[in-house]
Amino acid sequence: MCGIIGYTGTKNSVPFLLQGLRALEYRGYDSAGVAVQINGGINTVKAKGRIDNLEEKINSSEIKTDGTCGIGHTRWATHGAPSDINSHPHRAPSLALIHNGIIENYAEIEEMLSAEGYTFVSETDTEAAAKLIDYYFVRLGDPVKAIFEATDVIRGSYAFGVIFDSYPDTIYSIRKDSPLIVASTEEGGFIASDIPAILSHTSSYYQLEEGIVAIIGKNNVSFVDRKGNESSQTRLTIDWNVEQAQKGGFPHFMIKEIHEEPEAIRKTVSTRIGEDGLPDFGIRELDIVRLSKFKNIHIVACGTAMHAGLIGKNIIEKIARVPVNVDIASEFRYRDPILSKDDLVILLSQSGETADTLAALRHAKSKGVYTLSIVNVIGSSVAREADSVLYTWAGPEISVASTKAYSVQCALLYLFAVQLARACGKLSDAFAKELCRKLTEEVPEAISKTLELSKEIKNASRHYLASEHLFFIGRGIDSALCSEASLKLKEISYIHCEAYAAGELKHGTISLITDGIPVVALMTEEFLAEKVISGIREVKSRGANVLAITTKEIAEKYAIPADKIISVPEVDEFFAPFLLATVVQLFAYHIAAGRGCDVDKPRNLAKSVTVE
């Protein structure tokens, strides 16, 4: 969701900006632009659509070969349609500005500035911020003071990159509720919304703290607080390389990332198992004595991460018998959830920058509840602000459709459930050890074998290329899996999907089942197999075409009345959802690729949703 890049150095800034913007494409955007300081002024080029359109325009402009300091932006439209004019950077008389986030009081600011003689050309909220900083700059004559004055007025979320006509070779930046990183390298200084934009230039960066202005020069960066004091920021190291952020021979990031699941799970889980073979999170509150004090657990997240939470609920309640409430983060803070000091709130997020998840975290903290985040991006806001954090070691996830991040979130929740079950006296150490071993060794191996089904899944997917609707059905934990299967397929293939608990169909939805409607039934739990099979019979007798995805054991033992059955390799039934997750991800991938969709960058979607 919107991408920021800025470069100041001794070289032409345009290649740095374009390369950074391309590296941020995965975040989702519908227009792009750059602004470069040239001959004591600032030149701006903006274009609706892909970065190629912008590059074409740049090539016929005067900024092509000049200008060693510039800022660039990919915009994901919120206020005003995608258009050249609404694209960033936005100009004010003294400056150009790029922005990620939403200015909530932009209308008020525009009204105030209109009275001062300012005019507005775009429909965006961002232009108000650009002109407000200009307004203070004209009065105070100092970029840092102007930025602080303006951000005192602005309500909402922002990461700003600003260059001034009269301050050459310098980029100014500040953020609130939107991520922004800063780097100083031998090639020059950078700002970016995300690591991929700077990964080929450096392996270390600063995650800019809120309320601090970063001043990025050619050779150095400095940070200043509201009082004008120098602020020290923590330098972080990027623990993945350019190769990991490339497709590595796969046609799309999504399929590459699905293939990384075994290793991601192994890495995430094995680092949390102690020498005694039992879970060890290295967090005081998660040790066996303290963990039992939590009476209720709330898992809060968005999208796929929330679906991982549903899997977590099933497993935690099954083996630890502690009640778990799963909340959509965007609803959590507004429904005034009942929270007590004995509760634990777990925030799940791949990016750690999802605005709703961050707001939910802050809400929980404001109620004095202990918060634990499970996050993939080191140093991200959700990771930093929670009372404690467990990182998932999935490595960079570039595809908008989340796959390996989901699997590792589920894996950590399984491990957490084992620890909680021990703490609650529901699981012997011997059994817990056995589950930990299976999770670290057998699950990754079985997923690797499941990946070998890719060709069979691709063949099966041909049947669905022209489908307009599809239903996923399952019971128990599989109904949670259905939600994720359905989200995966609809976000990348644009096929309308519904996820239903199989027993719920006859309470209304079955009226949608007609001749040839595809239904995919997921079955991992043997004690529910016959129930799902009767659901299959119900839809079959109304003409549905049924694909069953199940375990080897169930496929061998039951006569499943489906048109096609895909069975996953042998694994303990308790862990079978991991294998089915891989199958439904491959299923969605092959259908979307077969339909010619832009698999890694589905329309209208952003990788990291940093606005409410």
Q: Where on the chain is the footprint of ligand M6R (CB under 6 A)?
A: 302-305, 349-351, 354, 357, 400-402, 491, 605, 608-609
Beta-strand pair 156-164/171-176: antiparallel
Between CA 522 and CA 502 the distance in angstroms is 9
Report residue 99 as tokens. 């922005």
Verify whether residue 552 is a known catalytic residue: no
Between CA 237 and CA 20 the distance in angstroms is 19
Rounded least distance, CB 605 to ligand M6R, Å: 6
Between CA 414 and CA 482 the distance in angstroms is 18
Asked if 610 and 101 touch (Cβ cutoff 8 Å), the reply is: yes
Rounded least distance, CB 403 to ligand M6R, Å: 8
Asked if 443 and 451 touch (Cβ cutoff 8 Å), the reply is: no
Report residue 289 as tokens. 């004595």
Residues 6 or more apart in contact with residue 431 via CB below 8 angstroms: none
- For ligand M6R, which is the closer residue by CB, 5 or 398? 398
Q: Quick check: helix, strand or coil at residue 89?
A: coil
Beta-strand pair 235-237/204-207: antiparallel
Between CA 296 and CA 294 the distance in angstroms is 6
**Position of minimal CB gap to ligand M6R:** 303
Report residue 505 as tokens. 């169909």
- For ligand M6R, which is the closer residue by CB, 208 or 302? 302
Report residue 322 as tokens. 């502690």
- For ligand M6R, which is the closer residue by CB, 212 or 588? 588
Nearest CA-CA partner of 509 in 522, 496, 528:
496
Rounded least distance, CB 382 to ligand M6R, Å: 7
Rounded least distance, CB 491 to ligand M6R, Å: 6
- For ligand M6R, which is the closer residue by CB, 358 or 529? 358
Provide the sign of the torsion angle of the four alpha carbons 599, 600, 601, 607, taken in this order.
Answer: positive
**Amino acid at residue number 248:** G
Nearest CA-CA partner of 324 in 346, 297, 306, 364:
297
Rounded least distance, CB 476 to ligand M6R, Å: 23
Q: Quick check: helix, strand or coil at residue 216?
A: strand
The two counts, helices (H) then strands (E), for the chain are: 19, 24
Rounded least distance, CB 607 to ligand M6R, Å: 7
- For ligand M6R, which is the closer residue by CB, 90 or 252? 252
Active-site residue, from 2, 302, 410, 497: 2
- For ligand M6R, which is the closer residue by CB, 316 or 588? 588
Q: Quick check: helix, strand or coil at residue 146?
A: helix
- Relative orientation angle of helices 13-23 and 51-59, to the nearest 10 degrees: 170
Report residue 575 as tokens. 């862990």
Q: Residues 450-472, buried b or exposed e (16+ Cβ, 10 A)?
A: bbebbeebbebbeebeebeebbb
Rounded least distance, CB 238 to ligand M6R, Å: 18
Verify whether residue 424 is a known catalytic residue: no
Rounded least distance, CB 100 to ligand M6R, Å: 15
Rounded least distance, CB 310 to ligand M6R, Å: 13
Beta-strand pair 518-523/188-192: unpaired
- For ligand M6R, which is the closer residue by CB, 402 or 419? 402
Residues 6 or more apart in contact with residue 228 via CB below 8 angstroms: 144
Active-site residue, from 267, 404, 433, 607: 607
- For ligand M6R, which is the closer residue by CB, 305 or 412? 305
- For ligand M6R, which is the closer residue by CB, 422 or 601? 601
Task: Name the β-bridge partners of 522.
Answer: 549
- Residues labelled catalytic: 2, 607
